[in-house]
Structure 1
Amino acid sequence: MIHTDTDLAPAVASALQLADAGTASLLVCETSAPTVRAVNDTACQRLDRTDADLIGTSLDAVQSDVPYLEDWDAFTADLESTDWQTHTGVHHRGDGATYPVHVDAIELSPTDVQTLVLLRTRPRHTDPMPRSELERQFQTVFDHPASFAAVLNPDGTLRTANETALDFIDATLDTVAGKPFWETPWWTHAESLQSELRDRVRRAAAGEFQRFEAEHVAPEGDSAVVDASLSPVTSTHGAVTGIVALGRDITERKTRKRQVERHRSQVHRLHEVATDIGSLEARDAVYDRIVEAAEEILEFDIAIADQAVGDVLIPKAVSTDLDAQHYYEETPIDADDNIAARVYRTNDASIVDDLSQHSVTPVVSEFESALTVPIGDHGVFQSVSRSTGAFDETDLELTELLMSHAATQLDRLATKRELRDRTQTLEAQNERLERFKNAASHDLRNPLNVARGYLEEEMASTDSENLEEVRNALDRSLDLVDDLLTFARDGQTVTNAEVVSLPAIVEESWRTVETGDASLVVDTDRAVRAAPSRLRQVFENLIRNSVDHGTADARNAPRGDTEEAGSSLTISVGSLEDGFYVADDGQGIPAAASRKVFQPGYSTASDGTGFGLNIVREIVEAHDWQIEVTESATGGARFDVTDVPDP
């Protein structure tokens, strides 16, 4: 802040206000006498004196050991010819203390009738500032190319303005000097701005610092947003003698700020669109919402969303003002001259600034640039423009965000559709299985039971080997019906699992199977989570398989002859790290047959149904376990059930 004598010309005070920059002490005298006429706040602070105490004081009360105090007239005459001098001297504080200083003396001529001596002082421990640098500092304040500067009278009329400000309105100082500031071309483009400025000048003239933003329009139409200030220049008695108007062009900063705010708003709105898209239950509705959001939020003029159907891309949603002749009815996905097809194949988004420079065939030649983004593996979004370079990386980023939301919902709808189709398929299969079970239970089993009843009556009165064979065939048919019913029931997912003791379930299963002379060894105390009845079926079938196929005698024994079948056979059940096993010490299963034993209908016995082990596998897999057949330690068969979690 510059403090001046009331008699100092207003133009002089305004010029000094512009010179008050940096951290140096400023003392100003007129060339006519070495008397302080103006000081800045820094000088007051360093000299420990008030501005009222300093203004009007002779320089020799403030400084000493400088040559110009010995002959002021000679000094000012010499300064007029050199413009600049640097001296060393001593400053005297108000408390009597002193400190050495460098003094830069420069002649200023703010008006045609008044010249000044500006004494810029610095503590001597700092390096003297070169003359050119001090000149640049003063000129930078008033005439910096990136700043607007002007000096006003207290009534708001313009005294002077720098070249930057004048160039902006393509005017000379003569054409604007003396006019009210608000009636100059900087402000006349907007009455509201003129009114605001008039009020702010009035406040500045009353001693209030003013800072505000204003948009100025140049004659050729260019505009600039300016961070403006009005600084009152006051005398030692507080009277405002002038107003310094400064402005800094902040157009780029404001533009960046608007871009950031716009981007933030767009991202927020796109996330809101994601919520909308997430509630849609039809694919076509998702494509429609994509195009709507592209128009409303991304502000694209022309947008289209294609769905991949087979080997072509088909438009599912287009901008409302886009005619049918402006897009293809379908596009082959393998087309090399089509950007949408390329993007879908590569899954890489694309910005083309000039379509004429690329080997592509736009629908109409008026389209100049294009933005293309894949919608997951569902399709492609594309926006085109009739001007080149219409899209940038921000457009790409926002479009990819929108497409990711759309792809997520389309994935969900596809999964939902697959589950619905699968459910319908399973329901149809279950209906067929139910019909089969009913047929097996009634239409097959009942006639077989009737036939067996008549056979028993006939065998009671007739001794015939042929009748025995008939009975074996009927028994096998009934067993086959039972196995088929079990197979149809146990191929389903387990839903009634509970913690089951393996030793207990094995003992129960052993008691329900005709085992002859076979023996059982249970070497486990493990418990598992399973459906008890279905796990019991597993052990029954595995035990029966060992009894029926484990020994050579068993393969030749008549059906139902368990004593021969189970003779000299030991069946053992034990624990594995992640499951359990059932093994025997019989003949084992040939390697070639081990790959087939779980297939439905496969059996090595002439009277076997071929479903026993297949049912075992179905039940095991229904529990999400695994089963495989291998060789036991004694060379027999061993079935390992694994992936069984702890209960």
Structure 2
Amino acid sequence: MADGIRVLYAGGKPDARGIASGLEAADGSLRVAAAASAAAALDALAEGDFDCVVGGDDPDASPLALFERTRERHPGLPFVLFPADGDEALAGAAADAGVDAYLPHADDPERYAALADRIRRLVAVPRGADGGDASDLGTDVRGEIPYERLLETCPVGIVVLNADGRIEHVNASAEEIFESSRSEMVGRTFDDLEWRIVDWNGDPIPEDDRPLERAVGTGEIVTDYEHGIERPSGERRWLSVNAAPLGSADGEIEYVVAAAADATERRERERALAALHDTTRQFVHADSEVAVCELAVEAAREILDLPINGVWLYDEDENEGILRPVVRTNEADALLDQPTYTGGDSLSWEVFERGEFRVYEDLSAVDGQYNPDSPLESEIVLPLGDHGVMNIGATEPNAFGEGDVALARLLAANAEAALERTAREAERRARARDLERQNERLEEFASVISHDLRNPLGVARARLELLSTECDSDHVDPLARSLDRMDAIVEDVLTLARQGELVGETELIDLAAAAEGAWGTVETEDADLVLEGSTRIDADPSRLQELLENLFRNAVEHGSTASRTTSGDSPEDGVAESGAADPGPDGGEGVTIRVGSLSDGDGFYVGDDGPGVPPEERDRIFEHGYSTADDGTGFGLAIVDEIARAHGWSIRTTESAADGARFEIATDSGD
């Protein structure tokens, strides 16, 4: 702008030329032309080139008439309304119309300086350092967007206050945030408006502590100040405010510019998350599936503000399985029937089978509804694992935002975990009851075995001792061995009767340590134990040791490498009969037993280098009482099988690397 800032003043009261002269005197960078009426101003605009228009008082036209005509013909030209006597109605009308600046002066002696300052800001030309002509800056910035228009495009609310705390400018985002029009806000203080500025507890914030007033009073920048705006209706919105003072050349604060972002959604999300955390703690104390579902439904209603919701649980007692309604809100009951869903007849069943949540924004466009005439227009269906689904509905389409869906998914995940826990607890309680009943029956059975069988055996053994002293008979030793065998059978039967297929509390056990412990309780003779690595097994410690003891005893007693099975021989409990081959004068070589983890890590094995188990016998060796040896009870490997199945494991017999027997126990729980 080689000739400075070109300004057109239009107005007839007071004298237009006098105001133009006063404006030029206040700022030498301004070149002001005067027009005595709106019509004359429009003619001047058509003929000349101006950077800004100032509209004064015109007795023949409304104050905004010139602005409207100017904006039509020159939409990018800044316009300042400069009335002698302003009022709130005119200020509001100017703000609503989009006037760039409203500056009533009431014959203020500083009116021309204030107007010059506002013009410079609007056309984005700074005053020269010496207060003189700015034309020597050598930059023509005509056509730049005035700062008010820049603020208008800002996505956060912008509020400008003067030093007296009165609002001079708000942008469109601020109107939306404060739910007030510019005409309601411009020219007023925050205390004049029909709202309260409150803290998180709903208490009024003292004026000096509020962000804009603090910036005015201290001259400091205020950042990330959060507070509430409460309207007379009680509705509250939460704001995050940043405010900065704007000083004049002499250091006096002239304005405060504040940026306000609506934090209501974030605040509500934080509140909901905290409340859901409390609900999760309540889930821990729920003692049944119904109690968990009641908590989930109430949380969706009260915390997430989603009143139409309910939970359906899967019932596997039916032939084909069903999803039956368990808990629903009163709003859902009043609006909907209580259907029971079966395979393929509903959106709920589809989500249950797939295990993936679905959001239906417009149910009228969705196929596969259970009831196409449902009053629901949108719905969220959330899987609860193998337990069922949670449904949340609304009577209008597109009712759920991303925040609603995220919080609903979090609630459903917590409810699913709680249902898992209650199912485990119910199973544990049922097992405890079964164990108690079985223990009572087994104690009775064990008592019968102990007294009704052992007492006659004791009498028989005493008679045999007397007989052996009275005569020298070849029948005494066979009778003694038979009685020993009967004692062993009774002991094994008692073991099965007392422990059966039950296990106690389980824990992670180091396999190598358990094997060494079991080895120390077995008469190992000259056998060797080799540990080939280790793993950790989730098991009942005592029953795992018992399993290992039986496998070790089986291998030691029947797995001597001098006792290989000859053609036609069969093993007792999976090994060869003693005496199947002559061990020679020095006896048989001791068996080597190897223990280690399976290659996939999900289990362990016990193998030996004894005679092994023929393939045709491997399906029978775990049967109760099955034995091919004269002195075998047939219960050793049966006990091993019972313990494995009690843990939920599987066991199979194969051939070891040394052609002996190898028992592989798959636990699916090894680390």
Query: What SS class does the counterpart of residue 278 from structure 1 fall into?
Result: helix
> Residue 312 of structure 1 is aligned with which of 285, 299, 322?
322
Distance in 1 between the 2:414 and 2:408 partners? 10
- 1:231-242 matches, cutoff 5 A: none
**Aligned twin of 1:402:** 411
Given the superposition, is the C-alpha separation of residues 576 and 272 from structure 1 closer, same or farther in structure 2, using an over 3 Å criterion?
same
Which amino acid counterpart does residue 430 of structure 1 have in structure 2? N
Deviation at residue 386 of structure 1 after TM alignment: 2.3
> 1:302-329 CA distances to partner (integer Å, 9 max, x unpaired)?
22222222322222222234446x3333
**Contact 1:369/1:387 (8 A) holds in 2:** yes
**Aligned twin of 1:133:** 143
Which amino acid counterpart does residue 314 of structure 1 have in structure 2? R
Structure 1 unaligned regions, length at least 5: 1-8, 12-28, 41-58, 60-77, 86-105, 218-222, 511-520
**Contact 2:290/2:326 (8 A) holds in 1:** yes
- 1:28-427 matches, cutoff 5 A: 37-38=26-27, 82-83=48-49, 128-130=138-140, 132-133=142-143, 136-137=145-146, 140=149, 181-182=187-188, 190=194, 254-255=261-262, 257-310=263-316, 311-323=321-333, 326-336=335-345, 338-359=346-367, 360-362=369-371, 365-427=374-436
> 1:81-140 CA distances to partner (integer Å, 9 max, x unpaired)?
85569xxxxxxxxxxxxxxxxxxxx99996899998989667999984335236x43885
Given the superposition, is the C-alpha separation of residues 229 and 245 from structure 1 closer, same or farther in structure 2, using an over 3 Å criterion?
farther
Distance in 2 between the 1:416 and 1:630 partners? 41
**Contact 1:210/1:230 (8 A) holds in 2:** yes
Distance in 2 between the 1:377 and 1:151 partners? 60
Query: What SS class does the counterpart of residue 597 from structure 1 fall into?
Result: coil
Deviation at residue 396 of structure 1 after TM alignment: 0.8
**Contact 1:378/1:410 (8 A) holds in 2:** yes
**Aligned twin of 2:590:** 572
Segment drifting more, 484-493 vs 589-598: 484-493
Deviation at residue 390 of structure 1 after TM alignment: 1.6
**Aligned twin of 1:545:** 558
> Residue 609 of structure 1 is aligned with which of 619, 633, 639?
633
Deviation at residue 433 of structure 1 after TM alignment: 3.4
Deviation at residue 440 of structure 1 after TM alignment: 2.0
Query: What SS class does the counterpart of residue 398 from structure 2 fall into?
Result: coil
**Contact 1:546/1:571 (8 A) holds in 2:** no
Distance in 1 between the 2:504 and 2:296 partners? 43
Which amino acid counterpart does residue 418 of structure 1 have in structure 2? E
1:593 equivalent to 2:614? Answer: no
> 1:334-388 CA distances to partner (integer Å, 9 max, x unpaired)?
143x332222222222222332222324486433222222223222222222222
Query: What SS class does the counterpart of residue 377 from structure 1 fall into?
Result: coil
Given the superposition, is the C-alpha separation of residues 396 and 504 from structure 1 closer, same or farther in structure 2, using an over 3 Å criterion?
closer
Query: What SS class does the counterpart of residue 304 from structure 2 fall into?
Result: coil
**Contact 1:600/1:610 (8 A) holds in 2:** yes
Distance in 1 between the 2:616 and 2:640 partners? 20
Distance in 2 between the 1:142 and 1:489 partners? 84
Which amino acid counterpart does residue 341 of structure 1 have in structure 2? W
Distance in 2 between the 1:563 and 1:148 partners? 101
**Contact 2:517/2:545 (8 A) holds in 1:** no
Given the superposition, is the C-alpha separation of residues 553 and 39 from structure 1 closer, same or farther in structure 2, using an over 3 Å criterion?
same
Query: What SS class does the counterpart of residue 591 from structure 2 fall into?
Result: strand
Given the superposition, is the C-alpha separation of residues 523 and 320 from structure 1 closer, same or farther in structure 2, using an over 3 Å criterion?
closer
**Contact 1:502/1:526 (8 A) holds in 2:** no
Which amino acid counterpart does residue 616 of structure 2 have in structure 1? A
**Contact 1:333/1:342 (8 A) holds in 2:** no
Segment drifting more, 138-147 vs 308-317: 138-147
**Aligned twin of 1:19:** none
Deviation at residue 602 of structure 1 after TM alignment: 1.7
Given the superposition, is the C-alpha separation of residues 451 and 417 from structure 1 closer, same or farther in structure 2, using an over 3 Å criterion?
same
> 1:62-89 CA distances to partner (integer Å, 9 max, x unpaired)?
xxxxxxxxxxxxxxxx99985569xxxx
Deviation at residue 415 of structure 1 after TM alignment: 0.9
**Aligned twin of 1:53:** none
Distance in 2 between the 1:597 and 1:358 partners? 59
Given the superposition, is the C-alpha separation of residues 126 and 641 from structure 1 closer, same or farther in structure 2, using an over 3 Å criterion?
farther
**Contact 1:149/1:245 (8 A) holds in 2:** no
Distance in 2 between the 1:464 and 1:594 partners? 40
Given the superposition, is the C-alpha separation of residues 432 and 555 from structure 1 closer, same or farther in structure 2, using an over 3 Å criterion?
farther
**Contact 1:554/1:564 (8 A) holds in 2:** no
> 1:152-175 CA distances to partner (integer Å, 9 max, x unpaired)?
99999x9x9999999x9698xxxx
Given the superposition, is the C-alpha separation of residues 480 and 169 from structure 1 closer, same or farther in structure 2, using an over 3 Å criterion?
closer
Distance in 1 between the 2:552 and 2:284 partners? 49
Distance in 2 between the 1:306 and 1:408 partners? 16
Query: What SS class does the counterpart of residue 143 from structure 2 fall into?
Result: helix
1:435 equivalent to 2:444? Answer: yes
Distance in 2 between the 1:539 and 1:455 partners? 33
> 1:380-437 CA distances to partner (integer Å, 9 max, x unpaired)?
2222222222212211100111111111111011011112222333333333433333
Given the superposition, is the C-alpha separation of residues 154 and 276 from structure 1 closer, same or farther in structure 2, using an over 3 Å criterion?
closer
Given the superposition, is the C-alpha separation of residues 478 and 549 from structure 1 closer, same or farther in structure 2, using an over 3 Å criterion?
farther
TM-score normalised to the size of structure 1? 0.57
Given the superposition, is the C-alpha separation of residues 563 and 281 from structure 1 closer, same or farther in structure 2, using an over 3 Å criterion?
closer
Deviation at residue 293 of structure 1 after TM alignment: 1.1
Query: What SS class does the counterpart of residue 572 from structure 1 fall into?
Result: coil
**Contact 2:160/2:170 (8 A) holds in 1:** yes
Q: Percent identity?
A: 24
Task: Report the number of matched residues.
Answer: 508
Distance in 2 between the 1:408 and 1:605 partners? 53
Distance in 2 between the 1:480 and 1:138 partners? 100
Deviation at residue 190 of structure 1 after TM alignment: 3.5
Distance in 2 between the 1:319 and 1:474 partners? 72
**Contact 1:83/1:107 (8 A) holds in 2:** no
**Aligned twin of 2:59:** none
**Contact 2:161/2:257 (8 A) holds in 1:** no
TM-score normalised to the size of structure 2? 0.55
Deviation at residue 590 of structure 1 after TM alignment: 2.9
Which amino acid counterpart does residue 591 of structure 2 have in structure 1? V
Given the superposition, is the C-alpha separation of residues 477 and 554 from structure 1 closer, same or farther in structure 2, using an over 3 Å criterion?
farther
Structure 2 unaligned regions, length at least 5: 1-8, 12-17, 31-43, 52-77, 85-106, 198-205, 232-236, 535-540, 571-576, 597-604, 667-671
**Contact 2:309/2:391 (8 A) holds in 1:** yes
Query: What SS class does the counterpart of residue 295 from structure 2 fall into?
Result: helix
Query: What SS class does the counterpart of residue 590 from structure 2 fall into?
Result: strand
Distance in 1 between the 2:182 and 2:370 partners? 48
Distance in 2 between the 1:423 and 1:478 partners? 31
Segment drifting more, 433-442 vs 272-281: 433-442
Deviation at residue 298 of structure 1 after TM alignment: 0.7
Distance in 2 between the 1:287 and 1:599 partners? 46
**Contact 1:502/1:525 (8 A) holds in 2:** no
Distance in 1 between the 2:578 and 2:240 partners? 106
**Contact 2:376/2:396 (8 A) holds in 1:** yes
Deviation at residue 571 of structure 1 after TM alignment: 4.2
